Amino acid sequence: MSNATQLIHSIPVDPLTGSISVPIYQTSTYVQEAPGVNKGYDYARSNNPTRETLENIIAKLEGGVKASAFASGLAAIDAVVKLLQSGDEILAVDDIYGGAFRQFTHIYAKFGIKVNYVDTTGVANVLDAITPQTRLIWLETPTNPTLKISDIAAIAKIAKQHNVLLCVDNTFASPALQQPIKLGADIVVHSATKYLGGHSDLIAGLVISATQELGEQIKFIQNACGAILSPHDSWLVIRGIETLHLRVQQHCRNAQIVAEFLETHPAIDKVYYPGLKTHLNHDIAAKQQSGFGGIISFTLKTDTEAAAKDVVTNTQYFKLAESLGGVKSLLCHPATMTHKSIPAEKRHAAGVQDSLIRLSIGLEDAADLVNDIDQALAKINITAGDLKIAAFQ
Ligand SMILES: *Cc1c(COP(=O)(O)O)cnc(C)c1O
């Protein structure tokens, strides 16, 4: 059975009514026959059939054993960190998602959890940075926004040798392109807000565990701390997952065309897309992913905020917004949006230059997307021109 068929048929028909769509159980509690005698459900924070269906689907899709659904990607990350204790250390990818960095730094540091940030594209760097206190390795691959790739299988081997858990944030690739548990990871997290939901209409997070034991620990944290996904949003994620493979194929196809166009454009300096042979980690991406995803970043030869602004305010189809993974193409300017709080020096060192623009390639026609970027690139210098005139006056 192909992946797409398996995926579509892992979504069950309702055994009670035959409903082909998963029912939304909008309830807080369940009537019991006698104290403790129930149909497997007693209170909706602990369990809900709609949420449970989503959890079973994503566990299968990621090749894991057990999954838990949370109210956001950050709530999912939070649940994984709660496996640790004060004094434990996390070894994390250096250009980690900004929200995870904020959570680690401003919430968990005060509970005595330390984080060492490492360039995990070099496997040797990971080995060097492990200490006796390291309990968790945290990868994102590809990363945001420069799409660095880390070798999941090689790092999983190191993690096992040192008895350290490996968690991979698989938001950018999605299980349609990459299944970290099959490469040796212990835990996968998702912001289901992005490709899994797929329609820019919800906030959700998922944790998938490779073992029953880890899955039960996460489930305990989910119930004990309470950041559960609602029945309606669970249903929306299920509906998104139904077309995941189809959407991701088109995201990849469009992104490859746009990236190759950008690479030849005279106004552009660097293009970051793992599907390009010129990408630093193209070979690892080709080895561990079955496609290169829908996110592209690029910098301009005129490396200024003003030039980037000319581009991001002059597109028609690419809408200026944070987030990614939806049907409509989006673009953003990390230096003044997602990465604004990072000091310029640190930001530049991470490759987030002043002119860097990130694209989330949607499901429009690729030719329209290319033309849209092309005409916006022709408008560079509008602001720069204004500035020059202003300076002259
Ligand atoms: C968006 C995102 C998150 C956070 O998810 P929310 O659903 O916004 O809480 C975590 N990791 C990555 C890679 C993301 O892109």
202-220 pLDDT tens trace: 999 999 999 999 999 999 9
pLDDT mean over 225-237: 98
Rounded Cα distance between 332 and 297, Å, is 10
In the predicted model, is pLDDT for residue 77 greater than 70? yes
| pTM reported for the whole predicted model | 0.95
In the predicted model, is pLDDT for residue 113 greater than 70? yes
The residue annotated as part of the active site, out of 51, 135, 148, 194, is 194
Contact 205, 77 (CB under 8 A): yes
Q: What is the mean pLDDT of the chain?
A: 94
Token representation of residue 211: 């073992």
Task: Provide the CATH number for the domain formed by 3-242 in this structure.
Answer: 3.40.640.10
For the chain, the structural domain boundaries read: 3-242, 245-392
Question: Who has greater pLDDT, 393 or 279?
Answer: 279
Q: Which of 191, 295, 337, when mutated, tests ligand 1's pocket best, judged by the most ligand atoms within 8 Å of its CB?
A: 191
Identify whether 194 is a catalytic site residue: yes
Residues of the chain with pLDDT > 90: what percent? 90
Enumerate the H helices of 195-278 as residue ranges: 212-225, 231-242, 244-264
Token representation of residue 15: 């055994």
Angle between helices 212-225 and 73-81 (to 10 degrees): 110
Contact 92, 117 (CB under 8 A): yes
Q: Which residues contact 47 (CB under 8 A, 6 or more apart)?
A: 40, 41
Angle between helices 305-312 and 366-377 (to 10 degrees): 140
pLDDT of 1 reads 61
131's torsion region: left (phi>0), alpha (psi -120 to 50) or beta?
A: beta
Which of 16, 62, 15, 24 shows the shortest CA–CA distance to 230? 24
312-368 pLDDT tens trace: 999 999 999 999 999 999 999 999 998 887 788 888 888 899 999 999 999 999 999
The residue annotated as part of the active site, out of 97, 108, 195, 272, is 97
Q: Please tell me the distance between residue 381's alpha carbon and the centre of ligand 1 in angstroms.
A: 33
Task: Provide the CATH number for the domain formed by 245-392 in this structure.
Answer: 3.90.1150.10
Contact 209, 338 (CB under 8 A): no
The residue annotated as part of the active site, out of 30, 41, 42, 45, is 45
pLDDT of 344 reads 87
Q: Which residues line ligand 1 (CB under 6 A)?
A: 72-74, 97, 99, 140, 144, 169, 171-172, 191, 193-194, 203, 205
Host H or E run for residue 324: none
The closest residue, in CA terms, to atom 7 on ligand 1 is 73
In the predicted model, is pLDDT for residue 391 greater than 50? no
Identify whether 169 is a catalytic site residue: yes
Which of 233, 208, 243 shows the shortest CA–CA distance to 50? 233
Rounded Cα distance between 226 and 88, Å, is 24
Contact 154, 123 (CB under 8 A): yes
Rounded Cα distance between 30 and 287, Å, is 48
How many angstroms separate the Cα of 90 from the Cα of each of 116, 133, 213? 6, 8, 20
In the predicted model, is pLDDT for residue 293 greater than 60? yes
Token representation of residue 25: 């159980």
pLDDT of 267 reads 96
* Confidence at 392, pLDDT banded by 50, 70, 90: very low
pLDDT of 383 reads 60
Q: Please tell me the distance between residue 308's alpha carbon and the centre of ligand 1 in angstroms.
A: 24
pLDDT of 4 reads 78
Enumerate the H helices of 130-188 as residue ranges: 152-161
Give the CA radius of gyration of the chain.
Answer: 22
In the predicted model, is pLDDT for residue 382 greater than 80? no
